[in-house]
């Protein structure tokens, strides 16, 4: 049935540079307030890397996360689709995708697909400010998730709602939404009674003008370097091997110079330090 459907349709898939994708998954699922993944994967990671038992691994570091992903891949246990290579999900060797887009060229690839299916009318609304629309949707999703579990962070994971908000703020800095100079402006008392609408307003005010937003976008590269500077060379080599099919299929470099440089040094944490 799937094969027949694909023959009659314009088929497409999207991929992402594997090292960036893995870090993004960590930021979204484990560094940020995410009770579900803190429990199902964070706890597993703490057991694997620290030999400790916990129901909520809310403080799993990126270094520990990478070791957990590699262990899960090696023993074929607790492998999660957010952290496994892209080729496993869309099986490009079996299914002949007509279009393979990338996150780096997301907007132009989407416009190409719309043109192929004869829906150029949708391009006008998207073309006004594709990145802004995408960013707004992402921010709203994060706030919905944060406030959905506001009463559970402390009870389930011993993380206050104030701490959860600060983590989300730091996530926005890591993703290049807020500058490093944009400090979380609320006290513990103020944060406990905060509404979602008010916090959204605070974030958008902190984002500032175009110049400030342009400066914030540079954070992504800095955060990437900081995170991967903590990874042992042995684990980097294992990641490279795990990512090899993605690299060969989609044209990515499995041993990028900035990660595999022999003169690598560990960068003092800022982005991945909760109290900065």
Contacts of 142 (CB under 8 A, 6+ apart): 32, 168, 171, 172
Q: What is the pLDDT of residue 213?
A: 83
**Residues present in the chain in total:** 276
**What dihedral do alpha carbons 58, 62, 66, 72 form, nearest 10°?**
0
Q: What is the mean pLDDT of the chain?
A: 91
Q: What is the pLDDT of residue 263?
A: 77
Instruction: Give the separation between CA 139 and CA 194, rounded to whole angstroms.
Output: 17
Instruction: Give domain status of residue 109, yes or no.
Output: yes
Q: Is the pLDDT of residue 161 over 90?
A: yes
CA distance 150 to 265: 38
Q: pLDDT confidence of 19, banded at 50, 70, 90?
A: very high
165, two tokens = 């908000």
Q: What is the pLDDT of residues 163-212, one digit of tens each?
A: 999 999 999 999 999 999 999 999 999 998 999 999 999 999 999 887 88
Say if 238 falls within a structural domain: yes
Q: Could you tell me the pLDDT band of residue 9, with boundaries at 50, 70 and 90?
A: confident
Which structural domain, as residue segments, surrounds residue 2? 1-259
Q: Would 143 be classed as within a structural domain?
A: yes
Tell me how many degrees the CA angle 59-61-62 measures, rounded to the nearest 5: 140
The answer to whether residue 66 sits within a structural domain is yes
**270: number of Cβ within 10 Å:** 15
Is there a domain that residue 275 lies in?
A: no
Q: Tell whether 97 is covered by a domain.
A: yes
Say how far apart CA 200 and CA 221 lie, in whole Å.
25
Q: What is the pLDDT of residue 107?
A: 83
Among 270, 262, 235, residue whose Cα is nearest residue 19: 235
Q: How many domains does the chain have?
A: 1
- Give the per-residue pLDDT at 2: 67
Write down the pLDDT at residue 242. Answer: 97
Report the pLDDT value the prediction gives residue 121, as an integer from 0 to 100. 80
| Cβ(213)–Cβ(206) below 8 Å | no
Per the domain annotation, does 276 fall within a domain?
Answer: no
- Tell me the per-residue pLDDT of 56-98, one tens digit each, with 9 for 90 and over: 999 999 999 999 999 999 999 999 999 999 999 888 888 888 9
pTM of the model: 0.92
245/54 Cα distance (integer angstroms):
34
- Kindly state whether residue 274 falls inside one of the protein's structural domains: no
Determine the average pLDDT of the residues in 141-158.
Answer: 92
């Amino acid at each position: 049935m799937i094969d027949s459907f694909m023959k009659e349709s314009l088929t497409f898939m999207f991929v992402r540079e594997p090292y960036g994708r893995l870090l993004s998954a960590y930021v979204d699922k484990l560094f940020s307030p995410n009770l579900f993944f803190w429990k199902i994967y964070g706890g597993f990671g703490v057991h694997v890397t620290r030999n400790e038992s916990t129901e909520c691994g809310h403080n799993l570091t990126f270094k520990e996360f990478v070791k957990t992903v590699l262990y899960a891949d090696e023993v074929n246990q607790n492998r999660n689709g957010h952290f496994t290579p892209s080729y496993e999900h869309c099986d490009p060797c079996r299914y002949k995708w007509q279009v393979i887009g990338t996150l780096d060229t997301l907007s132009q690839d989407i416009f190409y697909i719309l043109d192929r299916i004869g829906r150029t009318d949708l391009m006008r609304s998207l073309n006004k400010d594709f990145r802004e629309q995408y960013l707004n949707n992402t921010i709203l999703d994060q706030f919905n998730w944060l406030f959905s579990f506001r009463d559970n962070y402390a009870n389930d994971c011993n993380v206050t709602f104030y701490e959860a908000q600060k983590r989300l703020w730091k996530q926005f800095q890591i993703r290049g939404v807020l500058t490093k100079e944009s400090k979380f402006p609320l006290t513990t008392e103020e944060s406990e009674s905060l509404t979602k609408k008010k916090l959204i307003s605070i974030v958008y005010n902190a984002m500032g003008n175009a110049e400030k937003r342009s400066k914030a976008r540079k954070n992504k590269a800095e955060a990437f370097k900081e995170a991967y500077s903590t990874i042992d060379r042995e684990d980097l080599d294992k990641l490279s091997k795990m990512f090899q099919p993605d690299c060969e299929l989609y044209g990515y470099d499995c041993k990028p110079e900035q990660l595999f440089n022999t003169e690598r040094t560990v960068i003092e944490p800022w982005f991945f330090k909760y109290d900065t």
